[in-house]
Amino acid sequence: MAKNLQEMRQRVCLANQSLPQHGLVKFTWGNVSEVCRDLGMIVIKPSGVDYDQLTPENMVVTDLDGNVLEGDLNPSSDLPTHVQLYKAWPEVGGIVHTHSTEAVGWAQAGRDIPFYGTTHADYFYGPIPCARSLTAEEVEQAYEKETGAVIIEEFARRKLDPMSVPGIVVRNHGPFSWGKTPEQAVYHSVVLEEVAKMDRFTEEINPKVESAPNYIMEKHYSRKHGPNAYYGQKGQVH
Amino acid sequence: MAKNLQEMRQRVCLANQSLPQHGLVKFTWGNVSEVCRDLGMIVIKPSGVDYDQLTPENMVVTDLDGNVLEGDLNPSSDLPTHVQLYKAWPEVGGIVHTHSTEAVGWAQAGRDIPFYGTTHADYFYGPIPCARSLTAEEVEQAYEKETGAVIIEEFARRKLDPMSVPGIVVRNHGPFSWGKTPEQAVYHSVVLEEVAKMDRFTEEINPKVESAPNYIMEKHYSRKHGPNAYYGQKGQVH
Amino acid sequence: MAKNLQEMRQRVCLANQSLPQHGLVKFTWGNVSEVCRDLGMIVIKPSGVDYDQLTPENMVVTDLDGNVLEGDLNPSSDLPTHVQLYKAWPEVGGIVHTHSTEAVGWAQAGRDIPFYGTTHADYFYGPIPCARSLTAEEVEQAYEKETGAVIIEEFARRKLDPMSVPGIVVRNHGPFSWGKTPEQAVYHSVVLEEVAKMDRFTEEINPKVESAPNYIMEKHYSRKHGPNAYYGQKGQVH
Amino acid sequence: MAKNLQEMRQRVCLANQSLPQHGLVKFTWGNVSEVCRDLGMIVIKPSGVDYDQLTPENMVVTDLDGNVLEGDLNPSSDLPTHVQLYKAWPEVGGIVHTHSTEAVGWAQAGRDIPFYGTTHADYFYGPIPCARSLTAEEVEQAYEKETGAVIIEEFARRKLDPMSVPGIVVRNHGPFSWGKTPEQAVYHSVVLEEVAKMDRFTEEINPKVESAPNYIMEKHYSRKHGPNAYYGQKGQVH
């Protein structure tokens, strides 16, 4: 168990440090966590600490309710959002939140990121949803926890599978993404940001553009996912 | 006192050198200063000198009216603007002026940078104002000094607290930002530039977008500022 | 022959590694191949392998129908598209496929990239076509092979010479480019991406812009191509 | 004289190599030259050679009519344009041509780059003109020479001083800039590209924006130029 936790600390540290390498964050504006339900533990970035100051040792370890078990530093203030998503979605193993610029553009505009092409379909099965803003009451009560609740509500309302649509933008706020692992969650953050940019360009070039055909989504998503996937090498996780 | 001044020189030198690292300037198009009211001194970048030629020793030291006390080089030509702001706003300890591209876009467009989301609210309490252009008379008389006067006038007219709205764009010109320290003033320059970009994207994606709810601004601003702040670690300055 | 194949492996490896250096790909989202019709061989990137993991040795070698001859790894899933183009166009020696952002913008918008200036005319004789989306039947039957067929069909329908218009965007998907060699195919990918960006800017600045005059296209294309070319040094391939 | 020529070779080599460092060129898409009227010589980049292959020794030396005096390589194909400008404008000492993306956007759009703010006014006294496209006859006769003629014609028609407006975009083509030295010509290329970007943003943010007041142009231009300049340090060239 000690070994597993140490590996979690290393993975979460590396995943956090990859955020600036992918151009997704400025200063300390993003965080990655990993959950291990067997250990009953979440490992997450400490709040407000620069990425180049992160080490496996200064990651914060909490229980599945977000109570700090190990670490002298405060956990990311977004921890309660992560906790809600881990509780609701048992297949999710890692979560990322950033303020990446293109994704924030859609979040602030209050629009779903449309399905216009195969780059999108390779990783997201359908439009990337934009969740509603929190109400004044939700903000007042437990802001970060309610952010998680709003995301879960949006997926339930639209009957979406979080493993097929591994990300969302929250209105007036920014993107969250997830995956089986923290590495995959970061990968999905990069895809979400890139698709957000491609779609902005697309609408600029053709303001009357419509969604791409559904059968292209089916094909591209199933090239990389599910029993008949044939992209990449055997045993690779996409 | 000699020690304090030497530390000011070092801080101001480093803060100026951070401008190109943050992508905020080309050539010599930006300057940072720090004031120490106890010493009665301002330290500022020399005019027209490349950032990689800056040393603590070639920073220019002036009194609180901008008269050069130490240094063989001319101070930044924007010094009189800095002087006006330091005189008007006793809590300001550092000031930055750049021609960063996205912020200049709003300045040239003559528009406030709207409040559309949480990235903005984390650092700016309300829209980032666009001050009016100077009149022909103001330009003729004392251009840089009057630029400061116009900024102060704009804050007074709107009844804004410069510590809650730590930046502005001046019409047809560009951004100014400030903070308790030169480091914080640079931080606010980066935020201003990033929010300017996010907001350009937002309006492109949704031309009918409206401001985000005020209660989100209240919440996000107070997460990082004031007696109940809980972002980051104890004792950190945001 | 062994020597030639080894050189092909090296060229294809280097050409693939140049894609991220030119900013054309994220993760593993692009592939380059080379054909040698004398050897009866195609060399192509392995599927889903990071560019910094590529070596001449792990390139995949296939016959001219795309059957793997050498290599333990799966070839790029886009191989059947490459095969079709090599079969149809005997002068093509190298092919590139990416999801480069600006080109995808036009592909998703479903529009040809217009001829607006000399940067375009230096390498593409006329607009860069946008091919139609595949039908549901084509996607179902043999997606990647049919993608090649649709590209060939588009060139036939418009009576275009693939050596004069060395690239295309496929609707809802992204760009393909080619050349006499893999290096030249990569070069054309860079041009296609850059022209896509220039043209987006152009229409933003002047929504009523029209195509540039044909005689400018004639002149610029012939400066670099054909018997009277005078750009560059003698013996250079453009 | 040999010493002067060697220094010219070095300056021109360095100035050419600075183009990719400033992000103004891809591949070999730009060239810088210097003239010395006393020596009766022009030094210019060889055509189609990569910037990292440039040395002072492989620069091409020509007479004032563009006849090669020294060098085994062909000069830049744009040399006749440079020759025309040097002949028409005796104060010009260095010239740059690139296909930089933002400037090409305005060239392809066929529009002057408007005067919207102080960044522009610091270096360009008034809008940056867009010259007309060449006619079919001009293209046929002597394309590059006529490009120079069209630029000169545009300045004459508008009664502009090339030392106060040190650049232009040629319709359907791209930017040319110049200065007293090749270094200054490169500097003006960077400014032109940056102002082109700022102005694109400005019109996006406010489609009804109008030119900035003339008195701001007067003030900012004269801060850096002429007998009462006070920006920078004594003896600096801007």
Separation of alpha carbons C149 and C170, rounded Å: 11
Q: Is A63 an active-site residue?
A: no
Of A204, A215, A232, the CB nearest to C200: A204
The whole-number average pLDDT for the span A126-145 is 95
C-chain residue closest to A208, CA distance:
C109
CB-CB under 8 Å, C187 with D27: yes
Separation of alpha carbons C193 and C199, rounded Å: 10
Residues of chain B with pLDDT under 50: none
Residue type, A159: K
CB-CB under 8 Å, A48 with B233: yes
Indicate the DSSP class of residue D180: S
What is the least distance, in Å, from the CA of A123 to any CA of chain C? Answer: 12
- Mean pLDDT for chain D? 95
The whole-number average pLDDT for the span A125-132 is 97
3-state secondary structure of D69: strand
Among D217, D95, D107, smallest CA distance to D164 is for D217
> Among A41-50, A105-114, A220-229, B111-120, whose mean pLDDT is lowest?
A220-229
What is the least distance, in Å, from the CA of A113 to any CA of chain B? Answer: 10
Q: How far apart are the first and last CA of chain A?
A: 27
| Tens-digit pLDDT profile for residues D134-160 | 999 999 889 999 999 999 999 999 999
> Which runs of consecutive H residues, i.e. helices, occur in chain D?
2-21, 79-88, 101-109, 118-121, 136-157, 182-205, 214-224
Radius of gyration, CA atoms only, chain C: 17
B204 and chain A in contact, CB less than 8 A: yes
The residue from A78, A116, A122, A187 that is catalytic is A122
Please calculate the CA angle B199-B202-B205 and round it to the nearest 5 degrees: 155
Question: Within 10 A of A210 (CB to CB), how many other CB atoms are there?
Answer: 9
CB-CB under 8 Å, A212 with C136: no
User: Tokens 């940067």 sit at which residue?
Assistant: C119
Please answer whether residues C161 and C178 qualify as being in contact, where contact means their C-beta atoms are separated by less than 8 angstroms: no
Length of chain D in terms of residues written: 238
| Tens-digit pLDDT profile for residues C137-183 | 999 889 999 999 999 999 999 999 999 999 999 999 999 999 999 99
For residues A115-133, one letter each, b for 16 or more C-beta atoms within 10 angstroms of the residue's C-beta and e for the rest, the string is bbbbbbbbbbbbbbbbbeb
What is the least distance, in Å, from the CA of C125 to any CA of chain D? Answer: 15
| Tens-digit pLDDT profile for residues A152-208 | 999 999 999 999 999 999 999 999 999 999 999 999 999 999 999 999 999 999 999
Please answer whether residues A42 and A70 qualify as being in contact, where contact means their C-beta atoms are separated by less than 8 angstroms: no
**DSSP conformation letters of C39-67:** TTEEEEPBTT--GGG--GGGSEEE-TT--
What are chain B's partners, defined as 3 or more CB pairs within 8 angstroms?
A, D
Separation of alpha carbons C3 and A45, rounded Å: 52
Token couple for A38: 């067997």
**Which H or E element spans position B194?**
helix B182-205
> Among A40-54, A193-207, C165-179, D218-232, whose mean pLDDT is lowest?
D218-232
- Residue C36's φ and ψ, nearest 5 degrees, are -125, 105
- Mean pLDDT for chain A? 95
Of B73, B108, B140, the CB nearest to D198: B108
What is the least distance, in Å, from the CA of D118 to any CA of chain B? Answer: 5
Length of chain C in terms of residues written: 238
Residue type, B237: V
Query: Which strands, in side-by-side order, build the sheet including C167-170?
Result: C68-70, C60-62, C41-44, C30-36, C94-98, C175-179, C167-170, C130-131
Among D147, D191, D197, smallest CA distance to D170 is for D147
Q: What is the pLDDT of residue D153?
A: 98
The answer to whether residue C12 scores a pLDDT higher than 70 is: yes
Partners of residue D193 in chain B, C-beta under 8 Å: none
Please answer whether residues D57 and D9 qualify as being in contact, where contact means their C-beta atoms are separated by less than 8 angstroms: yes
Q: What is the pLDDT of residue A230?
A: 81
The residues, ordered by sequence, that sit 6+ positions from A120 with a Cβ below 8 Å of its Cβ are: A113, A128, A191, A195, A198, A199, A212, A217
Beta partners for residue D35, in sequence order: D42
Q: What CATH code would you report for B5-225?
A: 3.40.225.10
Q: Is C122 an active-site residue?
A: yes
Q: How far apart are the first and last CA of chain C?
A: 27
Q: What is the pLDDT of residue A226?
A: 77
CB-CB under 8 Å, A140 with B219: yes
State pTM to two decimals.
0.96
B238 and chain A in contact, CB less than 8 A: yes
Partners of residue A173 in chain B, C-beta under 8 Å: 117-118, 216
What is the longest distance spanned by two Cα atoms in chain B?
56
3-state secondary structure of A22: coil
Q: Where are the domains of chain D?
A: 5-225
Token couple for B20: 């190109």
The residues, ordered by sequence, that sit 6+ positions from A40 with a Cβ below 8 Å of its Cβ are: A63, A64
Of B29, B108, B136, the CB nearest to D116: B108
Partners of residue C140 in chain A, C-beta under 8 Å: 215, 219
C27 dihedral zone (left: phi>0; alpha: psi -120 to 50; beta): left
Q: What is the pLDDT of residue D220?
A: 83
Please give the torsion angle defined by the CA atoms of residues C143, C144, C146 and C150, in that order, rounded to the nearest 10 degrees: 120
Among C18, C64, C27, C51, smallest CA distance to C182 is for C18
User: Tokens 């995808």 sit at which residue?
Assistant: C104
Question: Cα separations (Å) of C118 from C206, D118, D188?
Answer: 17, 31, 22
CB-CB under 8 Å, B201 with A105: yes
| Tens-digit pLDDT profile for residues C105-129 | 999 999 999 999 999 999 999 999 9
Interface test with B, best of A29, A172, A193 (most B CBs within 10 A): A172
B228 and chain A in contact, CB less than 8 A: no
Of C116, C201, C233, the CB nearest to D74: C233
What is the least distance, in Å, from the CA of D228 to any CA of chain C? Answer: 36
| Tens-digit pLDDT profile for residues D56-65 | 999 999 999 9
| Tens-digit pLDDT profile for residues C76-92 | 999 999 999 999 999 99
Beta partners for residue B88, in sequence order: none
> Among A114-118, B127-131, D228-232, whose mean pLDDT is lowest?
D228-232
Q: What is the pLDDT of residue B220?
A: 83
Of B187, B209, B236, the CB nearest to A110: B209
Please answer whether residues A169 and A133 qualify as being in contact, where contact means their C-beta atoms are separated by less than 8 angstroms: no
C222 and chain D in contact, CB less than 8 A: no
CB-CB under 8 Å, A215 with C139: yes
CB-CB under 8 Å, C109 with A205: yes
Calculate what percentage of chain C has a pLDDT beyond 70: 97
Partners of residue A119 in chain C, C-beta under 8 Å: 29, 99, 104, 174
Token couple for D40: 């009766």
The whole-number average pLDDT for the span D71-91 is 97
Q: What is the pLDDT of residue C192?
A: 98
The answer to whether residue D199 scores a pLDDT higher than 90 is: yes
Residues 137-196 of B with CB under 8 A from A: 187, 190, 194
- Residue D156's φ and ψ, nearest 5 degrees, are -65, -45
Separation of alpha carbons C9 and C12, rounded Å: 5
| Tens-digit pLDDT profile for residues B41-67 | 999 999 999 999 999 999 999 999 999
The answer to whether residue C1 scores a pLDDT higher than 70 is: no
